[in-house]
């Protein structure tokens, strides 16, 4: 998110965001001496508050502090009240006249990365779009452009006549609307937007199911794109990292692995501040972004890693890298295009995840089925050897697999969603790293192809796309199910967190670890010349 010159050619029109323009976008001030500590992030810590019928948030000051609440009343006049604790509840407020809420859904996706690539393609066709996450990721026709029922239907019919059969209109009739309320000093307030500012101490938030989190910075409650609310934590970048690193890399990580994780987490956060633009915040607090628990359960080792790497990011040709990482690669990292659609990242390559030369991909690619099966049978000498998700064999019946697929296709409104049973499955295309690119599934209603990460979204057994299928037959030689035989946990792109453990224990420092997983990238201090990301829009 930066306005600076581009440093390498890429197709399409680009928006480049830098530290300077990020500060402007956030409404802040950024000088030429800006550092990482000047950057503040907006993190959605409770993303769709109000979906649960009895959901509530108890928000309290800590250590004798006072909370200042700012909001506008029904006359749009700013109100300021103070309290040390209050409860926000969402009630369903009946509407005098039912309201139609609808949008044109252009595409559905399992991941943000592929959704963004789809959004770029729609923009190239001249259609204004927004990327959203009501549940799975979706690309919508931009609501404030296609703002009337007539315009939306015109767009839908126009696209269908051009052959885009998967676009659809999603609509609902609302008889009531969620309304956030809270009480202070006996008075009830119902603002659409609420700012919660502490004196100097963290804010305590009691979530559902007894979870308690403490957050530095400030909070705000605001409407989102789905008719509910989001609780957003506005927090300095370095404070944010204290709530990410210990929960991503784990308490037993060696210090140099924690340092590598911190540099990657800092880079990831800055590069991905566009993810929730449709909802007016930047990042989430779950595995869809990075796990973030605020200042709950911080650790001395993680704090040491944050302090030791303050302001350091990973770049490639003066642009922040797409700092993807996963728990376990299964012995080989994947290219970006092995998992998602979009332009290749030159620093995200297929790399054998071992300090030894166990396999030469240049001589024997894992794209051929037998070569892949030979590789997946190897267990020793890898960075992740001995981890419980390094190798796995998970079995499922045809009935359970059919139910998995049915649920997935129903969410995507696929024409084969009324299937009864899967009759056969096979992998038809693999990448150099062995990841599944295409899997064919035959059902009683017809055949379909699943691509890349769709395989993990469609079925429960696989922990990654690094697996092969082994049919299971009964004594009458009838197909009863499949075994998924594979390795790794997650997408397998970029750094392996468990792999970094082993490399750190071998004496590798954070720079060497990151060079191994992101070839050609380099560590440098955050500064206003670094491009955060380049949009194709």
Q: Following DSSP, what letter does each residue of 465-512 receive, concatenated?
A: S-EEEEEEE-TTS-EEEEEEEE--BS--BSEEHHHHHHHHHTT--HHH
- In whole angstroms, what is the distance from residue 303 CA to residue 238 CA? 10
Supply the pLDDT for residue 183: 93
Residues 80 and 192 in one domain: yes
User: How many residues are present in the chain?
Assistant: 537
What's the chain's Rg over C-alpha atoms?
24
The whole-angstrom separation of Cα 61 and Cα 83 is 8
Are residue 456 and residue 482 in the same domain, yes or no? yes
pLDDT for 534 equals 78
Contact 219, 43 (CB under 8 A): no
Q: Say what the pLDDT of residue 251 is.
A: 87
Is the domain of 389 the same as that of 435? yes
E strands present in 110-167: 129-132, 137-141
285 and 429 part of one domain: no
Sheet containing 319-320: order of strands: 319-320, 312-316, 522-525
| Residue 515 domain flag | no
In this structure, the answer to whether residues 65 and 117 fall within a common structural domain is yes
Query: How far is the C-alpha of 211 from the C-alpha of 47, rounded, in Å?
Result: 15
Query: What's the half-sphere exposure (Cβ side, CA atoms, 13 Å) at 468?
Result: 14
Residue at a domain's end among 200, 227, 254: 227
pLDDT of residue 127: 97
pLDDT for position 476: 95
Domain assignment present for 511: no
Please tell me whether residues 106 and 251 are part of one structural domain: no
What's the structural domain count of the chain?
Answer: 3
pLDDT of 29 reads 33
Asked if 346 and 484 sit in the same domain, the reply is yes
According to the model, what pLDDT value does residue 474 have? Answer: 96
Q: Residue 349: inside a domain, yes or no?
A: yes
What's the pLDDT at 16?
Answer: 58
If asked whether residues 368 and 314 sit together in one domain, one would say no
SS3 state at 261: helix
Three-state secondary-structure class, residue 11: coil
Same domain, 344 and 315: no
Would residue 514 count as lying in a domain? no
DSSP label of 350: -
One domain for residues 371 and 468: yes
The whole-angstrom separation of Cα 384 and Cα 369 is: 23
30, 208 Cβ separation under 8 angstroms: no
Q: CA-CA distance, 197 to 201, in Å (whole number)?
A: 10
Together in a domain, 46 and 138: no
pTM over 0.85: yes
Domain range for 317 is 1-51+233-324+494-503+521-537
C-alpha separations of 406 from 56, 166, 398, 467 in Å: 33, 17, 12, 21
Residue 134 domain flag: yes
| pLDDT value of position 54 | 64
* Domain boundary residue, one of 169, 194, 227: 227
Does residue 120 form part of some domain?
Answer: yes
Low-confidence ranges of the chain (pLDDT < 70): 1-37, 53-54, 535-537
Residue 373, pLDDT score: 98
Show which of 196, 227, 258 is a domain's final residue: 227
> Does residue 268 sit within a domain?
yes
Q: How far apart are CA 530 and CA 6, in angstroms?
A: 10
Do residue 339 and residue 476 come from a single domain? Answer: yes
Decide if 513 is inside a domain. Answer: no
């Amino acid at each position: 998110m930066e306005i600076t010159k581009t440093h390498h050619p890429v197709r399409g029109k680009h928006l480049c965001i830098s530290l300077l323009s990020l500060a402007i976008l956030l409404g802040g001030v950024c000088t030429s001496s800006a550092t990482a500590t000047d950057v503040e992030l907006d993190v959605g810590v409770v993303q769709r508050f109000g979906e649960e019928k009895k959901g509530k948030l108890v928000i309290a000051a800590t250590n004798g502090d006072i909370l200042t609440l700012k909001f506008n009343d029904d006359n749009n006049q700013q109100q300021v009240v103070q309290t040390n604790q209050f409860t926000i509840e969402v009630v369903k407020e009946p509407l005098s006249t039912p309201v139609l809420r609808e949008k044109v859904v252009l595409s559905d996706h399992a991941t943000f990365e592929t959704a963004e690539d789809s959004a770029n393609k729609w923009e190239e066709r001249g259609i204004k779009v927004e990327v959203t996450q009501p549940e799975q990721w979706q690309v919508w026709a931009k609501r404030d452009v296609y703002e009337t029922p007539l315009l939306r239907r015109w767009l839908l019919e126009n696209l269908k006549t051009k052959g885009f059969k998967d676009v659809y209109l999603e609509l609902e009739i609302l008889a009531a609307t969620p309304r956030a309320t809270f009480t202070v000093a006996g008075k009830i307030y119902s603002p659409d937007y609420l700012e919660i500012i502490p004196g100097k101490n963290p804010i305590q938030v009691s979530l559902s199911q007894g979870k308690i989190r403490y957050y530095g910075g400030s909070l705000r409650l605001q409407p989102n794109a789905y008719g509910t609310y989001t609780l957003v934590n506005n927090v300095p970048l370095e404070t944010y990292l204290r709530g990410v690193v210990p929960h991503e890399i784990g308490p037993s990580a060696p210090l140099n692995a924690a340092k590598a994780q911190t540099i990657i987490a800092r880079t990831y956060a800055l590069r991905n501040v566009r993810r929730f633009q449709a909802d007016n915040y930047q990042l989430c607090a779950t595995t869809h972004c990075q796990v973030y628990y605020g200042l709950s359960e911080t650790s001395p080792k993680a704090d040491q890693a944050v302090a030791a790497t303050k302001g350091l990011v990973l770049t490639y040709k003066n642009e922040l890298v797409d700092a993807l990482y996963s728990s376990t690669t299964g012995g080989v990292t994947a290219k970006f295009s092995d998992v998602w659609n979009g332009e290749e990242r030159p620093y995200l390559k297929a790399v054998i995840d071992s300090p030894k030369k166990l396999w030469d991909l240049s001589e024997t690619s894992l794209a051929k089925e037998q070569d892949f099966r030979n590789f997946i049978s190897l267990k020793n000498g890898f960075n992740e050897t001995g981890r419980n998700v390094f190798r796995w064999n998970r079995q499922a019946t045809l009935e359970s697999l059919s139910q998995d697929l049915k649920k997935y296709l129903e969410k995507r409104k696929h024409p084969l969603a009324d299937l009864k049973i899967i009759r056969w499955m096979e992998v038809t295309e693999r990448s150099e790293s062995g990841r599944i690119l295409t899997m064919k599934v035959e059902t009683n209603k017809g055949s379909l192809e699943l691509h890349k990460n769709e395989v993990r979204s469609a079925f429960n057994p696989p922990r990654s796309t690094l697996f092969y299928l082994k049919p299971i037959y009964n004594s009458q030689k009838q197909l009863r199910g499949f075994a998924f035989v594979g390795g790794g946990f997650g997408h397998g792109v970029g750094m392996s967190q468990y792999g970094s453990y082993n490399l750190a224990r071998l004496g590798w420092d954070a720079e060497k670890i990151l060079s191994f997983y992101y070839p050609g990238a380099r560590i440098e201090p955050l500064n206003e010349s670094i491009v955060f990301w380049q949009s194709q829009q």
